[in-house]
Structure 1
Amino acid sequence: MKTSYLSNAIGLLAIFGSCVWASLVQAKDIENNSPSAKHVRVAIYDHAKDFCKGTKNLKRFLTPENGFVLTVVRPDEIRKGVLHNNYDVLIMPGGSASSQARHLEEEGRDQIRKFVQEGGGYVGICAGAYLCTTNKPYSLGLVNAKVWDLAHWARGTGTVSLEMTSAGCQALKSSDQIVDVNYGQGPMLAPGEDSDLPGYQVLATYKTEVSKKGAPEGTMVGMHAIVRTMYGTGRVIAFSPHPEKPSGPESLMTEGVRWAGRGKTP
């Protein structure tokens, strides 16, 4: 069974490569990493009464000393339009994509789309990466991506290795091509079929996998783990794994947020 799933994955990846790169947005639009003297104004979504672990983890390093000003925003604030003119980038952290969508309601999801369309950034982590795809009726549809093998989404957690692409090493300032990172049942991303959206650029793929709870072996290796694209004039980056956790490497998240936050000039 392992050989069958692995061969299927390899065959699909050959198709993915041509699909993704054939519809990439202009490189100059997504590869501008020029430094900025301004602090990046970061909004972190959180609907929990007490801050979720993702929020606490991000607060450790998205600090003024590192060039960020961070604020927690609630679903009702997003529905009222708080993102516009107040923030450069929104982070949707881990948790449950369906729960995030439910708390945001349709109005809140529309506000996020408008924010990004007009130049705001979006960083999706695990659940937030699920949410930004085109996979479900409640999805934001910011990234032309679907979720591969969704039937086995609850495949377990653990440490996995990522293989950074050359674009990923440059964009996220990684000197290592292979990095270890925490995996918490995030999406295996694959190119979507929305003709109204551009393709995405792959920054990292899964080199190793987690295949517990009946998930077939071989389906995760080679799948897309970190991708980026444009939505309107806004920048979007999706992280399937959790580099923001204490095990890191948090630098991947730092540079991802910095890149996404540079797309909007107040």
Structure 2
Amino acid sequence: MRTFLPRRRFSGGAAGWCLWLAAGLLQAALPDPKPLGFIRSNTPAATPYFLQDSGKPGPLVFISGGVHGDEPAGAGAADQIRHWPIVRGKIVVLPRANAEALPARKRLTPGADTNQNNLNRNFPRAQQNEPPRGELAAEIWALLKQFKPDWVIDLHEGSDFRIQTTNSVGSSLIVVQKEAGKQAAALMHEAVNATITNAARQFMLLRSPVDGSLARAAGEHLNAQAMILETTIKAQPLSQRIRQHRVMVHTLLRHLGMIDESVTTEWMTDQRPDRARRQIAVYDAAGTSGPGVSRLHEIAGASARLQAVPIGPEDIVRGALSQFDALICPGGTGSGQAAALGETGRRQVKQFVEAGGGYVGICAGAFLACDGFSWGLKILNARTVSPQWRRGTGTVRVELTEAGKKILGEANGLLEIRYANGPILTNATSTELPAYETLAWFRSELAENNSPKGIMINSPAMVAAPCGQGRVLCLSPHPEQAKGLEKMVERGIEWAAGNRRPPSP
């Protein structure tokens, strides 16, 4: 199994990173994270684009995502790919092309005229001498004409698997029929399908993007090798769809000789040692449920100091955690998350924490952390008081301890927080793990479904502990779902990540 090369990055903190660079494992300079410019600047639709110039001859590749606002994987993948260092040619990345539609999670551009609201139908049509329709399409098209790309890759999503239905183009590569593009697409198709074991979910090669699309216009009018890459939203977590985009684009850039072996498909973050935001991996795959994942992304997105990135079992198994400061495992089912991670993934998480990474477990993620389960991560010296975990769902009252106030912030009196079958913790007996410290107590109780009464009141609601060089924070209730507690959650995440490295001022 190929391992993510930068996994040694944080050994010894910044000094370890410098040694990694000095060892010559990275042949290209890390890209400048600052945008080259903005389209639709000084408007609500303003969105940045990024240029990476290797300084060496080679092709120019233009990568766009987020043309449709209800297709987040393309935007997420493009925002990760822009951090890949290249060794020849240039890359221009427009991660969030439709900056008004993306936060609205709408396919069509909010407020646009009916004949202009589908951005991917607004570019010059084949065999037509016409301008783009609408200011957003016009500025994107002007950007392409300015850079004259050799390749245009537009990242999208479909609602269903094309291999199963003709009603969607999900899981497909839609290729402008030029020879170099077809050859590259065949390699990309083979690479992404090698990651998919379910034959009913594999990708298909399709001909000719729809007329009026960015890719079709680039092929027809700019003579670019162009294609649309489509993942499928149905029954697949965002982390998996982003990964599929990375696999396809990685295959193309390797084929073009633009990235070397130091860049793997697991490169998901800004890897500069002086980056300003802590990189937080949010597990979003099998074993998760409810609004916790989206709320955690909202909280991190509103923070100037945190960057949340979806992560799945395949990423974790292949060593991707080494580039992050903390991992959050949210609500759902702890045993389900454990099964999805498998023994290798669970070992990767434990090693990540022991090496200085942070872990935040919420509800199911708190179960997962415990030493008291055979499938647990065994990073918290805790077990559950009773195996009858179905205590019910509702609002409970929680009171912070003085230790909790130091970590999570001042909050006097009782806090009302959503509870959904979270663990009732007590000390375990591990001789390898230190005791936890209680940060908050339950001051009320839910005891439905014949679960034992009296064990929840005055038991730990939130706990923290060291594990090796790392920190573990476990929350039985759901403060991330409580309006007004966003800063508490943000502080908790920052505390957990605090042993990794200090953020830049």
Q: TM-score range by the shorter chain?
A: 0.7 to 0.9
Q: Which letter maps to 2:498?
A: R
What residue is the counterpart of 2:121 in the other structure? none
Aligned: 1:68 with 2:302: no
Indicate which of 109, 117, 127 corresponds to 2:364: 127
Q: Which residue of 1 aligns with 2:295?
A: 57
Q: 2:329 aligns with which of 76, 92, 105?
A: 92
Matched, 1:147 2:387: no
> Highest CA radius of gyration, 1 or 2?
2
Structural mapping, 1:78-227, within 5 Å: 78-84=316-322, 86-151=323-388, 153-227=389-463
Contact 1:169 1:177 in 2 (8 A): no
Name the CA distance, whole Å, in 2 between partners of 1:264 and 1:90.
12
What's the CA shift string for 1:62-86, capped at 9, x where partnerless?
12634111100010110000001x1
Report the equivalent of 2:315: 77
Q: TM-score, normalised by structure 1?
A: 0.81
Q: Separation in 1 of the partners of 2:347 and 2:422? A: 23
| Counterpart AA for 2:348 | Q
Q: Percent identity?
A: 36
Alpha-carbon contact 1:57-1:246 (below 8 Å) kept: no
Q: Deviations over 1:207-261 (max 9, x none)?
A: 0011111223322101111000111000110000000014452332111101001
Give 4+ residue runs of structure 1 displaced > 6 Å after superposition.
Answer: none
Gaps of 5+ in 1: 1-35
What displacement does 1:57 show? Answer: 1.0
CA RMSD in angstroms, aligned pairs only: 2.0
Task: Verify the 8 A CA contact 1:188 1:224 in the aligned structure 2.
Answer: yes
**SS at 1:159 equivalent:** strand
**Quick check: 2:282–2:310 contact (8 Å CA) kept in 1?**
yes
Partner secondary structure for residue 235 of structure 1 = strand
Per-residue deviation at 1:51?
8.3
Change in Cα spacing, 1:230 to 1:111, as seen in structure 2 (3 Å) is same
| CA–CA distance in structure 1, aligned partners of residues 289 and 455 of structure 2 | 34
In structure 2, list runs of 5 or more residues that go unmatched.
1-273
With CA pairs under 8 Å and 6+ residues apart, which has the higher RCO, 1 or 2? 1
3-state DSSP of counterpart to 2:377: coil
SS of residue paired to 1:150? coil
* Aligned amino acid, residue 97 of structure 1: G
Aligned length, in residue pairs: 229
User: In structure 2, how many angstroms separate the alpha carbons of the residues matched to 1:158 and 1:191?
Assistant: 25
Give CA-to-partner distance per residue, 1:132-189, whole Å, 9 cap, x none. Answer: 01111110010100111222x1010100011111111121002324211000100011
From 478, 481, 503, the counterpart of 1:242: 478
One-letter amino acid of the structure 1 residue matched with residue 474 of structure 2: A
Matched-pair contact (CA < 8 Å) for 1:42–1:90: yes
Q: Distance in 2 between matches of 1:135 and 1:106?
A: 16
Question: How far does the alpha carbon of each residue in 1:78-97 deviate from its partner, in whole angstroms, 9 at most, with x for none?
Answer: 0000001x100000000011
> Relative to 1, partners in 2 of residues 1:94 and 1:254: Cα closer, same or farther, differing over 3 Å?
same
Question: Corresponding residue for 1:46?
Answer: 284
Alpha-carbon separation, structure 2, partners of 1:146 and 1:49: 20
